[in-house]
Homo-oligomer: A and B are copies of this chain.
Amino acid sequence: MAKRPAGAADLRESCLREALAVIERSGVEALSLREVARGLGVSHQAPYKHFASRDHLLAEVVRRIYDGFARHLDDRPRHDDPYGDLGAIGEAYLAYARAHPLQYRLMFATPLPDPAAHPAMMASARHAFAILNEAIDRVHGRPDAASPAGRAVPLDALYVWATVHGLASIMQASAMRTLALPESIHAAVEPHAMGRLHAAMTAALSSKDLP
Chain A interface (Cβ within 8 Å of chain B)? 26-30, 107-112, 115, 121-122, 125-126, 129, 151, 154-156, 158-159, 161-167, 169-170, 173-175, 177-181, 184-185, 188-189, 192-193, 195-197, 199-204
Query: Among B112, B129, B203, which residue has its beta carbon within 8 angstroms of that of A203?
Result: B203
- The residues of B that contact A155 with a CB separation of less than 8 Å are 185, 188-189, 192-193
A28 to B179, CA, bound (A): 21
Rounded to whole Å, the gap between the CB of A195 and the closest CB of chain B is 8
The 5 tightest CB contacts between A and B, nearest first, are A166-B166, A200-B200, A112-B174, A162-B166, A27-B29
Q: CA separation between A196 and B199, bound complex, in Å?
A: 9
CA distance A181 to B155 in the complex (A): 10
Decide: B185 and A151 in contact? CB cutoff 8 A: yes
- Chain B residues positioned under 8 Å from A166 (CB to CB): 161-167, 169
Contact B126 A178 (CB under 8 A): yes
Whether B163 pairs with A163 at a CB distance below 8 angstroms is yes
CB-nearest residue of chain B to A175? B108
By beta carbon, the residue of chain B nearest A25 is: B29
Nearest residue (CB) in B for A28 is: B27
Given A151-B184, A175-B107, A185-B151, A159 and B193 touching (CB < 8 A)? yes
Of the residues B125, B158, B185, contact of A185 by C-beta under 8 Å: B158
Contact: A175 with B28, CB < 8 Å?
Answer: no
A154 to B166 alpha-carbon distance, docked (Å): 16
CB distance from A171 to the nearest CB of B (A): 8
Q: A170–B158 contact, CB under 8 A?
A: yes
